[in-house]
Amino acid sequence: MRIALVHDDLMQWGGAEKVFAEISNIFPEAPIYTALADFKNPLILKNFKGKKIVTSFLQKIPFYRKLYKPLLPLYPIAFEQFDFSGFDLVISHTTRFAKSIITKPETIHVCYIHTPPRFLWNFSGENPDFLPALLLLSLRKFDLISAKRVDFWIAGSKNCRQRLQKVYKVDSEVLYPFVDTEKYNPQNRFEGDYYLIISRLNKYKKVDVALEAFKRSGKKLVVVGSGPEYKSLKNNISEKISFLGKVSNELLESLISGCQALIITAQEDFGMTAIEAQNFGKGVICFSKGGALETVINGKTGVYFEKQTPQSLNEAIDKFESLKIEADDCLANANKFSKSNFKKKLLELVQKAMQIG
C-alpha cells in the first residue's frame, strides 16, 4: 500500500511537529508533503533525517523563512497543487490547511486534526489581526469546502471533536497525542520554590493574567517561551518573575522537574505541556475550559480555575497549595498518553478508515 503524509509546514519545532515526526516514524517509507520546510532548522533536520520531503511553490519565494506567516493565506492553493495520484492512502496532520489536498476517489484521505484553524474560527480567543475581513471570510468559506474532501476524521481531543461537529458538521474518532513517558526519570524531580509557565507568548495565551496574579501574591514565577508579546510582557513584571525566552530541552526538563506546578492560563486545544508536567510528577493549575480538562484531574493531578482573572488564578494556587498532589498520581495519568498507545490506536484507526473507504 502506497502512503503519503501531509503537514501544514515544517518551519518550527513544536508539539505538532513532535506528533507528526512520530507519525512519519510509524510510516517510514511515506513521502512528506508540506507547504514550506526550513531545512536549516537543526531540529527539523534531525527529526526528519532521511525522509523525502516535497514542498510547494511557496518554497521558491525569497525570504520565505521570514515571510511564512504572512504567506498563510496562500497555503490552501499550495496544498491543492500537490499530486497524490498512485497513493492508496494520504494522512494529513493539521491545525490549518493541510486537509485542503485533493485526492482521487480511489485514494482514502484520513485527516488527523487538533483544531479547525483558530485564527479563522476564533477558538481560544485568537484574533487574526493580520487578515482583512474580506480575506478572512473567503478563507472561512474555503475551509468549509475543503473539509468535505476528507474521508475519515481523527480528532486530537474530545475538545477538537466538538469543534469539528460545530464547524464542519462531521463525526470523528479521538486519538490523543503522546508524551515520551519512557524518557523521563522521576528520580530527577525536586521541590523548587517557583511556578512555571511554558507558552507561546501570544495575546490569546493570557500570560498577562498570570503576571498580574504573581505580582499581587509575591510568589516566584518563571516564564519560558517567545512570541510577539515577549517585550510588552517582560516590561510588566516584578522582581520575582523571570522571563527566560527559548531554552534548551535539558534546561526545560530541569525547570519542569523543580517547579511547584505548571500554570496554564489559555484555553488550550489539548494541552501537551500539562501531560509533560505530570510526566515529571508535577501538578498543573489550568483554566477550566478546552483540552486541558482532558489531561488534568481536578483535585488529584491539579486544580482548575474558572475565570481568566488574577484573582481566580490566585485562588486556585492557594487551593493547590492546600492539597497534597501525589507524584505517582500524576505519573499514572501521564502514562495514559504513551507513545505505544498512540501508535497502536493510530494503526487501528487507519485500518478502520481503509475498511470503510
Predicted confidence at residue 131, as pLDDT, reads 67
Same domain, 106 and 136: yes
Same domain, 8 and 136: yes
Predicted confidence at residue 179, as pLDDT, reads 87
Q: State the Cα angle at 12 between 178 and 224, rounded to 5°.
A: 75
Same domain, 174 and 38: yes
Same domain, 248 and 326: yes
The amino acid present at 283, given as its one-letter code, is G
Q: For residue 26, what are the domain limits?
A: 3-178+338-356
Same domain, 302 and 331: yes
Same domain, 159 and 262: no
Predicted confidence at residue 191, as pLDDT, reads 83
Domain count, the chain: 2
Tell me the whole-structure pTM to 2 decimals: 0.88
Same domain, 327 and 342: no
Query: What are 181-207's pLDDT values in tens digits?
Result: 876 666 667 889 999 999 989 888 999
Same domain, 210 and 323: yes
Same domain, 344 and 296: no
Residue 223 belongs to domain with CATH number:
3.40.50.2000
Same domain, 212 and 192: yes
List of the chain residues with pLDDT < 50: none
Predicted confidence at residue 269, as pLDDT, reads 85
Same domain, 161 and 192: no
